[in-house]
């Protein structure tokens, strides 16, 4: 059944393989935009959507000196990163080594995917309880405060035999004709992995621990790549493209287009993030906040939409291997881990299970997870 020209706003999802209805709803942005008002499920409480009136004060960190082994430039960059991460967990990077052509190709592939007919996008539909796949407004998981966006998520890892992990995903769910798209994203993920390792080293320097601490910890990371598409909206003041939340992952590297819409909460107010040409956004997530014992803040952010222009972004979420135990480096007078432990030991598998099955990520995710973990017997160790 071709759903690309459906005339309903929200319809029961159709299992393409079996031709039967399942749980949740389908988000068809092309149909929704033809209506004068947005459905109630997309309206967010006014407390979640106060307007941002000022621009965020966040550094644009030049990584050129770091990559060329200039110690003075590296220490200067580390100081900027430390200041930003202690305040709000957000900064941008330039001279990051990621090819502009490669980044543009990945964004072009995002356009190509989201312009497919709905029935074709649904071939990659996210399975219940899963992380990978296509989702319209996350309506497969939630029924209220739905975000005005579509997403495509898939995994990436570096390991023997996984050289084609992204390519194989696209071919397996969408067909052989999407091999080129898979290759573009495979190359982009490889570049993001390399950049994330460099940023982890810079974060270690900024925290005063051995510079290889986090690079080595995330060497065998399991990353998540997410392509975001935010359609124009007829009532943007009532909804959000992404609700207020902190990323549960360790680190997010975001490529955004020139439209803008990303906002960060800092100084008790929402503040706009101005897109910088060829810069990549970096924000700290809950897992790294735990690794730094709370010294670096997990960035509270959201995305807004507008009436006229669509917006696209590519988010690369850096996650540890599922069984790695999250704990700060051993404490010392200078080290990040000094002082009482704020969070118990946990694994990324536990944290992911919590966010996928028990809790919708928001600004209190890590705090809520800590309480949930301490009330259960599943923690691998106890905080000291």
CB 89 within 8 A of CB 297: yes
Rounded distance between C-alpha atoms, residue 22 and residue 12, angstroms: 7
DSSP assignment letter at 52: P
Would you give the DSSP letter of residue 125?
A: B
Q: Look-up: residue for tokens 């592939």?
A: 109
Active site residues per annotation? 311
Residue 300 contacts residue 269 (beta carbons within 8 Å): no
Q: Which two tokens stand for residue 193?
A: 């992995």
Residues 320, 250 contacting (CB under 8 angstroms):
yes
CB 52 within 8 A of CB 272: yes
Backbone angles phi, psi at 110, to 5 degrees: -65, -45
Contact in structure between 182 and 197 (CB atoms under 8 Å): no
């Amino acid at each position: 059944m071709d759903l690309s020209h459906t005339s309903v706003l929200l319809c029961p999802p159709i299992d393409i393989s079996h031709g039967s209805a399942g749980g949740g709803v389908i988000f068809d942005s092309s149909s929704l935009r033809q209506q004068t008002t947005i459905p109630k499920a997309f309206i967010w409480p006014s407390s979640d959507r106060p307007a941002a009136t000022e621009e965020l004060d966040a550094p644009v960190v030049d990584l050129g000196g770091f990559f060329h082994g200039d110690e003075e430039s590296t220490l200067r960059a580390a100081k900027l990163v430390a200041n930003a991460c202690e305040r709000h967990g957000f900064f941008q990077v330039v001279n990051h080594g990621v090819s502009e052509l490669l980044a543009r190709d990945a964004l072009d592939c995002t356009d190509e995917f989201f312009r497919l007919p709905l029935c074709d996008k649904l071939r990659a539909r996210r399975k219940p309880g899963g992380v990978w796949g296509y989702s319209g407004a996350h309506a497969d998981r939630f029924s209220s405060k739905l975000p005005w966006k579509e997403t495509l998520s898939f995994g990436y890892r570096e390991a023997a035999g996984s050289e084609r992990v992204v390519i194989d995903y696209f071919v397996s769910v969408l067909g052989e004709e999407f091999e080129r798209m898979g290759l573009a994203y495979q190359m982009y993920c490889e570049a993001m992995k390399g950049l994330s390792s460099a940023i982890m080293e810079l974060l270690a320097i900024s925290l005063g621990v051995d510079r290889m601490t986090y690079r080595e910890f995330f060497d065998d990371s399991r990353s998540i790549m997410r392509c975001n598409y935010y359609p124009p909206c007829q009532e943007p003041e009532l909804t959000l493209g992404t609700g207020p939340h902190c990323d549960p992952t360790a680190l997010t590297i975001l490529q955004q287009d020139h439209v803008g819409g990303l906002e960060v909460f800092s100084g008790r107010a929402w503040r706009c993030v101005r897109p910088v040409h060829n810069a990549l956004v970096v924000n700290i997530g809950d897992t790294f906040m735990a690794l730094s014992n709370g010294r670096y803040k997990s960035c509270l952010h959201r995305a807004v939409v507008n009436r006229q222009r669509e917006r696209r972004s590519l988010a690369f979420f850096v996650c540890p291997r599922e069984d790695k135990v999250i704990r700060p480096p051993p404490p010392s007078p200078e080290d990040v881990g000094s002082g009482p432990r704020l969070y118990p030991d946990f694994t990324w598998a536990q944290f992911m299970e919590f966010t996928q099955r028990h809790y919708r990520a928001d600004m209190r995710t890590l705090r809520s997870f800590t309480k949930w973990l301490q009330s259960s017997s599943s923690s691998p160790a106890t905080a000291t």
